[in-house]
Structure 1
Amino acid sequence: MLDLIAMYEAQKAFRNRIDYKGDDRFGELILALQVELGECANELPETFKFWAHKENNLQDALIEYADGLHFILDIGHEIFFEDFDMIYLLSGADKKRPIATQFRYIFALVSKLDKTKSSITFIELLSEYIGLGEMIGFSFEQIEEAFYVKDVINHERQSEGY
């Protein structure tokens, strides 16, 4: 199982480092998550580009997936989410669902969360997102490693004035 609490705390440390001065951090995070979801899907052309003859790029998809996870956890901080026990109780995605359908379902959950800022919707979103990673074929170890590699990159970028 993913150590979501440790990842959540790592995201909190990065979040505290950013000097955000905008009025709508939540809305900016929602858009950033939507972009990362699209970028992840784009690395999996076999999933939805039925007209293309390109193979999936799982390594780049994992990087984009980890980016999305950073934004989801940051959104959790934005809505003051704390109840990770509920996430561990959920089983995640319906593994019989096509991956393209899973992406659309997650997009719908992001839109719903944008409107409601509900902890219940956040739980469902995070659970379904973890399930998406499993459906793509990522192990929990791969997800955590990609998350922490990106966390280091994010901190380095902040040090460089990114």
Structure 2
Amino acid sequence: MNLQKLFDMQRKLDEHIEREHPRKPDEDRLAKKILALMVELGELVNEHRGFKYWSHDQEPRRAVYEICEYCEGRKTLGFQQESCWYCGGTGLQVIKRPLLEEFADCLHFLLSIGNDININEVYEDYEPKPLYFGDGDILGQFIAIYDWINSLYFHRHEDVNGEIYDLVFAYFLGLGEMLGFTWEEVEQAYMKKNEENHSRQERGY
């Protein structure tokens, strides 16, 4: 896990956003970032779908597929009918990973909040460890994160040592593991979305 690289990338993105959208007098942008994190977490749990007891479709949205553009769904290539190297012989290719993408969106705001309260400096010498709610209860994990984000909001001016933030981050890391993500996947998804967010600012988003 290379958190310092991600904190630095987030700082540069936030500076870009600040240039395009300067802060208004007396604006509490930290409060807005905390609320944005809650919203993104809601989008993540919506892609997880495990709470939707009213639906027969409660499978997490791990991937969205389309017909492979190389083999055009035939699963093979060439005269030898060898298995398509691009799609692995499935005839399909992944075009989106909604669950992972929403996790990366959450990470953007989590890092941005960390930069605002200077927790990035603490994490130079300390790597947070994942925390888990109960015995692998993923719904409880989501709710625990919401609870700690809520606490972070109400104590945002007092949490000078980042103790509450540290708990949010630790439970968030635990959630990532429970969702089956590797840190390498998360980092790649973050970097891809970070680049897209820079482009959005250039386009006047």
Does TM, scored on the shorter chain, surpass 0.5? yes
Query: Which of 8, 30, 36 pairs up with 2:34?
Result: 30
**Equivalent in the alignment of 1:68:** 106
CA RMSD after TM alignment: 1.6
* Separation (CA, whole Å) in 2 of partners of 1:50 and 1:146: 29
Question: Is the 2:108–2:190 Cα contact (8 Å) retained in structure 1?
Answer: yes
Change (3 A) 1:156 1:95: farther
1:11-58 superposed Cα distances (whole Å, 9 cap, x missing partner)? 00101111232301011101110000000000011x211221222102
Does 2:182 match 1:139? yes
User: Residue in 1 aligned with 2:47?
Assistant: 43
1:53 matches 2:56: yes
Q: Which runs of structure 1 show a deviation greater than 6 angstroms over 4 or more consecutive aligned residues?
A: none
Gaps of 5+ in 1: none
> 2 CA distance for matches of 1:48 and 1:141?
27
Taking the aligned partners of 1:102 and 1:30, their CA distance within structure 2 comes to 18
- Paired with 1:86 and 1:125, the residues of 2 have a C-alpha distance of 18
Equivalence for 2:127:
88
**Greater relative contact order structure (CA < 8 Å, 6+ sep):** 1
TM-score (norm. length: structure 2)? 0.74
User: Scaled by the length of structure 1, what TM-score is found?
Assistant: 0.92
Would the aligned equivalents of 2:145 and 2:168 in 1 still touch at CA under 8 Å?
yes
Structure 2 Cα separation of the partners of residues 87 and 136 of structure 1: 24
How far residue 107 of structure 1 moved from its aligned partner, in angstroms, is 0.3
CA distance in 2, matches of 1:109, 1:132: 13
CA distance in 1, matches of 2:128, 2:39: 28
- Structure with higher strand content: 2
Q: Is the 8 A contact 2:130 2:173 kept in 1?
A: no
CA contact (8 A) 1:95 1:135 kept: no
* Runs (5+) with no aligned partner, structure 2: 63-96
* Residues 90, 161 of structure 1: alpha-carbon distance in 2 compared, 3 angstrom cutoff: same
Structure with greater Cα Rg: 2
Report the count of equivalent residues.
160
* 1:115 CA displacement: 1.3
Q: Is the 8 A contact 1:87 1:123 kept in 2?
A: no
Q: Tell me by how many angstroms 1:77 deviates.
A: 1.3
Q: Corresponding residue for 1:9? A: 8
Out of 80-89 and 52-61, give the one that drifted further.
80-89
How far 1:73 sits from its partner (Å)?
0.6
Q: Do structure 1's residue 105 and structure 2's residue 144 form an aligned pair?
A: yes
Structure with bigger helix share is 1
Letter in 2 for 1:30: I
